[in-house]
Amino acid sequence: MIDKNDIKKIICPPENLLFQAGQMKEGGAEFLFMECRREAEDEITLDYTFNFNGVITTVSTHTQQRDISSLYSIYPGSDYPEREAAGLFQVKFIGNPNLAAAGLPEAGHGEKKS
């Protein structure tokens, strides 16, 4: 079992996300999963988690804008989690060609408000 203390976390500004993902790929990192959550009414956090040479590493980015670069071109496995986040949180993943194929408008379906 992995202890939270064993997970390395990298905070990355949204404008550097593709560069960071490219560096991870060049270093041999495998994409594991992505989580998206709303931190505040206008702030979204995306956590991309990788196996980086045996070290679980999360690249975290926070954005108030809903447009963010997709990791699809580097990690095609990010496709489904990005489509899910697009639908639930209105995040527009620039460069993910499958948002329209999934029946999602470019900005997603919209958040459910309680």
| Inter-residue contact 61 to 13 (CB < 8 Å) | yes
How many Cβ atoms sit within 10 Å of the Cβ of residue 39? 11
List the CATH code of the domain at 4-101. 3.30.460.80
The pLDDT confidence band at residue 110, using thresholds 50, 70 and 90, is: very low
Residue that the structure tokens 């500004």 belong to: 13
pLDDT tens-digit map of 30-68: 999 999 999 888 899 999 999 998 999 999 999 888 889
Digit-coded pLDDT (tens) for 73-107? 999 999 999 999 998 888 899 999 988 655 555 44
Q: Which two tokens stand for residue 18?
A: 């593709």
Among candidates 48, 20, 51, which has minimal Cα distance to 34? Answer: 48
SS3 label, residue 35: strand
